């Protein structure tokens, strides 16, 4: 019977539409794609293909999947975490479930290898799965009193200096109360999912995805006492740019890059959740040990 992690029950047994999307370099995986598509059709699913997948397998007739436009029950993402972030950023407004197949390297989000994918899907369709609920951030960019950009992020939002090696000043408030003025190379505002990404590289903590938190991690601050801080995700973060440099960037999940200006205000808060389909035996701590190389002997439990 299906189990749902940190959320409501959802049955894949009633699923009818599945989309397949993938990373750009698809070499050596043609057989995997063809086998997967054949299996899904035999299972009674209506299959949608991203255009690059259809071109790669030379499909003459297919249902076109347009990320952000085509609503499906589940998306099978063939690639690494970057591919998943791309699709999630385009599909977060739909009630869609994501299933990651790791064709990349690190793969914190796409943990399932392509070997035996049909057998794995068979288990999922039989109800042997959990739903892994992950929080997303809503980001609004305010300029001269008007919201000029609005988007969401699964991993993190980054404010950074674009060209010169100069510190930028970022006045930061939490729920309208002053936290600090960061004087640093930038600031990362991350979700627990993103705590193992850029934030970790900048010295931030690893936060379990079930923890309701937002992580603020300064990038190379000039004050030793300005350390990463973890706050409840019920809080709203407001960051005002207090530097008049020509190029300061606002980046989301490594997918979107926006130039920001002096006195721009970035508003960040919890947006909602997306769901990843997982097998019951998947283990977050085992993933950490394996991906981060914590010890030579990885226990399988």
Beta strands in 2-80 (DSSP E): 3-5, 17-22, 46-49, 63-64, 74-79
> Is 215 inside any structural domain?
yes
Give the separation between CA 171 and CA 241, rounded to whole angstroms.
7
Asked if the structure places residue 12 within a domain, the reply is: yes
19-33: pLDDT as tens digits? 999 988 777 788 899
Residue 238 in any domain: the answer is: yes
Residues 88 and 8 in one domain: yes
Q: Considering just the CA atoms, what is the radius of gyration of the chain in Å? A: 20
Judge if 62 and 16 occupy the same domain.
Answer: yes
d(CA 54, CA 19): 11
Which pLDDT does position 8 carry in this prediction?
Answer: 37
* Domain membership flag for residue 57: yes
The pLDDT-based confidence of 299 (bands split at 50, 70, 90) is low
143 and 256 share one domain: yes
Q: Which residues pair with 180 in a beta bridge?
A: 172
**Could you read off the pLDDT of 141-193 as tens digits, one per residue?**
999 999 999 999 999 999 998 776 789 999 999 999 999 999 999 999 999 99
Give whole-number Cα distances, 99 to 6, 54, 182, 298, in Å: 17, 19, 38, 24
Domain containing residue 196: CATH number: 2.60.200.30
pLDDT digits (tens, 9 = 90+) for 246-279: 789 999 999 999 999 999 999 999 999 999 999 8
First CA to last CA across the chain, in angstroms?
Answer: 20
162 and 266 fall within a common domain: yes
> Which pLDDT score, from 0 to 100, does residue 5 have?
46
- 298 in a structural domain: no
Do 213 and 172 share a structural domain? yes
- How many domains are contained in the chain? 2
Side-chain-facing half-sphere of 151: CA atoms under 13 Å: 22
Judge if 185 and 143 occupy the same domain.
yes
251 vs 113: which has the higher pLDDT = 251
Q: For residue 81, tell me if it sits in a domain.
A: yes
Q: State the pLDDT at residue 296.
A: 58
The answer on 268 and 212 residing in a single domain is yes
Q: What is the mean pLDDT of the chain?
A: 89
237 belongs to a structural domain: yes
Contacts of 223 (CB under 8 A, 6+ apart): 183
Q: Position of tokens 């972030």?
A: 85
- In Å, how far from its chain's centre is CA 258? 18
The structure tokens 């990373």 sit at 23
Sorted by sequence, the CB contacts under 8 Å of residue 25 that are 6+ apart come out as none
CB neighbourhood size of 61 (10 A): 5
Residues 12 and 105 in one domain: yes
For the chain, what percent of residues have pLDDT higher than 90? 67
Say which CATH number the domain at 78 has: 3.40.50.10330
Q: Is residue 148 part of a domain?
A: yes
Return d(Cα 230, Cα 261) in angstroms, integer.
Answer: 27
Q: Looking at the structure, do residues 185 and 93 belong to the same domain, yes or no? A: no
Over residues 39-77, the pLDDT tens digits come to 999 999 999 999 999 998 999 899 999 999 999 999 999
For 10, the token pair is 């959802």
pLDDT digits (tens, 9 = 90+) for 184-229: 999 999 999 999 999 999 999 999 999 999 999 999 999 889 999 9
pTM of the model: 0.90
Whether residue 165 sits in one domain with residue 124: no
Task: Give 116's pLDDT tier (boundaries 50, 70, 90).
Answer: confident
Same domain, 8 and 80: yes
Element (H, E) at 83: helix 81-91
Which pLDDT belongs to residue 4?
A: 44
* 47 in Cβ contact with 63 (< 8 Å): yes
Same domain, 146 and 104: no
Backbone angles phi, psi at 194, to 5 degrees: -80, 0
Strands (E) in the chain, as ranges, are 3-5, 17-22, 46-49, 63-64, 74-79, 97-102, 130-143, 146-153, 156-161, 168-174, 177-184, 186-190, 213-219, 229-232, 237-241, 248-252, 256-260, 265-278
In DSSP terms, 280 is beta-bridged to none
State the catalytic residues. 81
Q: How far is CA 47 from the centre of its chain?
A: 24
Instruction: Give yes or no for a contact between 14 and 141, defined as CB atoms under 8 angstroms apart.
Output: no
Question: How would residue 101 be classed by pLDDT, with cut points 50, 70 and 90?
Answer: very high
Q: Which domain holds residue 66?
A: 3-129+279-292
């Amino acid at each position: 019977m299906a189990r749902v992690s940190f959320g409501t029950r959802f049955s894949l047994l009633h699923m009818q539409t599945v989309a397949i999307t993938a990373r750009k370099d698809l070499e050596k995986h043609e057989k995997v794609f063809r086998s997967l598509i054949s299996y899904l059709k035999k299972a009674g699913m209506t299959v949608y293909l991203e255009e690059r997948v259809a071109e790669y397998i030379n499909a003459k007739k297919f249902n076109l999947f347009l990320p952000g436009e085509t609503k499906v029950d589940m998306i099978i993402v063939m690639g690494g975490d970057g591919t998943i972030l791309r699709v999630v950023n385009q599909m977060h407004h739909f009630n869609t479930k994501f299933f990651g197949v790791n064709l990349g390297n690190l793969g914190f989000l796409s943990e399932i290898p392509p070997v035996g994918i049909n057998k794995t899907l068979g288990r999922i369709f039989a109800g042997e799965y959990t739903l892994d609920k992950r929080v997303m951030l809503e980001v609004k960019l305010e300029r001269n009193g008007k919201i000029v950009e609005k988007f969401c992020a699964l991993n993190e939002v980054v404010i950074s200096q674009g060209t010169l090696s100069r510190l930028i000043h970022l006045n930061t408030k939490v729920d309208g109360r002053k936290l600090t003025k960061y004087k640093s190379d930038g600031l990362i505002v991350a979700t627990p999912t993103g705590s193992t990404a850029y934030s970790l590289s900048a010295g931030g903590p690893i936060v379990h995805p079930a923890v309701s938190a937002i992580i603020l991690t300064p990038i190379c601050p000039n004050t030793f006492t300005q350390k990463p801080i973890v706050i409840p995700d019920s809080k709203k973060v407001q960051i005002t740019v207090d530097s008049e440099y020509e190029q300061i960037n606002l980046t989301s999940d490594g997918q979107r890059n926006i130039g920001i200006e002096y006195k721009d205000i970035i508003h960040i808060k919890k947006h909602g959740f997306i769901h990843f389909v997982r097998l019951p035996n998947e283990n977050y701590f085992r993933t950490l040990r394996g991906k981060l190389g914590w010890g030579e002997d990885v226990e399988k439990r």
